[in-house]
Amino acid sequence: MKVQRFSKIGFILAAAGSAVGLGNIWKFPYMTGEYGGGAFVLVYLIIIAFVGFSVMIAEMLIGALGRSDTVTSFEKLAPPNKKYWKLAGFMGFNGIIIMTFYSVVIGWIFYYLYSLLRGLPTSTDQAKAAFDNLVGNEVLAQIFFHTLAVVIVGYIVYRGIKGGIERINLILMPALMLILFGLLAYAMTLDGFKEALSFMFEPKWEKLNSEAFVRAVGHSFFTLSLGMGAIMTYAASLPKEASITKTAFIVTFMDTLIALVAGLVIFSFLFQFGAKPGQGPGLVFISLPTILNNFGTLGIFFALLFFLALAFAGITSAISLVEPVVQYLIDRFHMTRTKAVIFISFIYWLVGVGAILSYSNAWGKIFSIGGKPLFDILEYTTDSILLPLGGLLIAIFVGYVMQKSQVKAHLQTFNEMNPTMYRIWYFSIRYIAPLALLFMMLNLLGVIEL
């Protein structure tokens, strides 16, 4: 049972720390680059405002009313004849699947922080060769830094809500914002800034195809940490007097702001030196270091700050991916926190090693299924199937299964929502969110064509 509660600001920072992650700083810029800028950003913003925000309120509500691990919360809130809904609570385990590759990417960031000290690459070819070499040949270095990520994350989770999660977010989140806004202030002085603005905010509709649309929906869930029980688990330790609606708004706003700032910073640097935005996942690992080389020693400093911010963002998100299962093991199996953390960390560490090997030249074939590396399978399955499914279950549960009066009573206490707002939110959670998610999932399965 929960005894610890976040402080108000602690909860906001922890939830924002969960949301703001590699998704904002690494994934959002490269996806915006790949899918042509403005139109993708616009769809992303619309989905965040009309679907993501309402689902976040719903997910927080389940946690705040259930006050337990994800499985127990669903079980408690389901009506007596629908207790099988507790199975939805197993969405918490998706966090462990995400962690198998998320921790590997945090490991890459650590490796970059360490190798940046030896200088920046002088050409894109060199930077690409360095990245390819890391992923293809440096298995041991990757395992080392992946292990380091697992240990750091495990230690914070082991320290618990107050001493670990709240405390680390209180430090790392402001540090992250300081770095990013500092970089933004500098980027604004560059000529590339104007180009970055128009690339990100002038929609080029001809670039918006069905794939870009589906990816925008998927990404808005990933970036807000929705559909997996992370926000739900944190909300179980929500301070009593905190408003769900307000917190959800602040978290959504911060997450979006930081993605936009990260995008502006990266594209300003890119355009300043005439680089192309559509370069895929290597964007921050390959293009950015090369470009920063143009600044000489100052460039190394910028690169260090940037990767440091990326590492902070990754760690605060990772702990929210591990905590739900740990909480579940503590509540339902009466494991001690220490045992639960070690057990879970070991499992995703091991699969993570498999993910590393699946990209390596020597072992790649063995760790692939049907020609697809294990890394890609893990990423695709969570991102495109499990998270939207989790989001759908949350929307259906709050919109149709839970008692209407209970939902309404909670969201209208403390004047959280006025009646009009409540009606709009309820409509969104019953119709807009499930339809958008269903539409996206069917599209992915190739059942319908956009």
CB of 283 to ligand TRP, least distance (A): 15
Torsion, Cα of 270, 271, 277, 279 (10° steps): -40
Q: Considering the rule CB under 6 A, would residue 225 count as an interface residue with ligand TRP?
A: yes
CB of 26 to ligand TRP, least distance (A): 8
Neighbours of 7 (CB within 10 A): 14
CB of 226 to ligand TRP, least distance (A): 6
Pattern of binders to ligand TRP over 110-149, x per CB under 6 A?
Answer: ----------------------------------------
Please state, in angstroms and rounded to a whole number, the distance separating the CA atoms of residues 112 and 176.
17
Q: Considering the rule CB under 6 A, would residue 21 count as an interface residue with ligand TRP?
A: yes
CB of 28 to ligand TRP, least distance (A): 8
Residue in 24, 252, 345, 428 binding ligand TRP, rule: CB under 6 A: 24
Part of the chain binding ligand TRP (CB under 6 A), chosen from 6-14, 19-27, 128-136, 201-209 = 19-27
Residue in 96, 228, 286, 386 binding ligand TRP, rule: CB under 6 A: 228
Of the candidates 66, 107, 73, the one whose C-alpha atom is nearest the C-alpha of residue 90 is 73
Nearer to ligand TRP among residue 228 and residue 303 (C-beta): 228
CB of 178 to ligand TRP, least distance (A): 19
Please state, in angstroms and rounded to a whole number, the distance separating the CA atoms of residues 429 and 431.
6
* Conformational region of residue 280, where left means phi above 0, alpha means psi within -120 to 50, and beta covers everything else: left
Nearer to ligand TRP among residue 13 and residue 387 (C-beta): 387
Q: Considering the rule CB under 6 A, would residue 230 count as an interface residue with ligand TRP?
A: yes
Nearer to ligand TRP among residue 217 and residue 417 (C-beta): 217
Contact 207, 37 (CB under 8 A): yes
Contact 327, 66 (CB under 8 A): no
Interface residues for ligand TRP in 33-92 (CB under 6 A)?
A: none
Residue in 223, 237, 287, 428 binding ligand TRP, rule: CB under 6 A: 223
Token pair 């869930």 is found at: 221
Q: Considering the rule CB under 6 A, would residue 32 count as an interface residue with ligand TRP?
A: no
Residues facing residue 373 across a β-bridge = 368
| H or E stretch covering 368 | strand 368-369
Using CB under 6 A, count the residues that bind ligand TRP. 15
Nearer to ligand TRP among residue 78 and residue 258 (C-beta): 258
- How far is CA 416 from each of CA 12, 48, 398, rounded to the nearest angstrom? 16, 20, 17
CB of 121 to ligand TRP, least distance (A): 25
Q: Considering the rule CB under 6 A, would residue 23 count as an interface residue with ligand TRP?
A: yes
The distance of Cα 237 from the centroid of its chain, to the nearest Å, equals: 20
Please state, in angstroms and rounded to a whole number, the distance separating the CA atoms of residues 377 and 265.
31
Contact 232, 390 (CB under 8 A): no
* Conformational region of residue 370, where left means phi above 0, alpha means psi within -120 to 50, and beta covers everything else: left
Interface residues for ligand TRP in 373-412 (CB under 6 A)?
A: 387
Residue in 13, 18, 256, 325 binding ligand TRP, rule: CB under 6 A: 18
Part of the chain binding ligand TRP (CB under 6 A), chosen from 80-88, 218-226, 292-300, 413-421 = 218-226
Nearer to ligand TRP among residue 19 and residue 275 (C-beta): 19
Type of residue found at 376: D
Nearer to ligand TRP among residue 65 and residue 230 (C-beta): 230
Please state, in angstroms and rounded to a whole number, the distance separating the CA atoms of residues 4 and 52.
28
Phi, psi of 48 (to 5 degrees): -60, -45
- How far is CA 73 from each of CA 86, 88, 292, 335, rounded to the nearest angstrom? 8, 10, 48, 18
Residue in 6, 193, 222, 425 binding ligand TRP, rule: CB under 6 A: 222
195 CB-contact burial (10 Å; exposed 0-12 / middle 13-18 / buried 19+)? middle
Interface residues for ligand TRP in 314-343 (CB under 6 A)?
A: 317, 320-321
Report the interface residues with ligand TRP, using CB under 6 A.
18-19, 21-24, 222-223, 225, 228, 230, 317, 320-321, 387
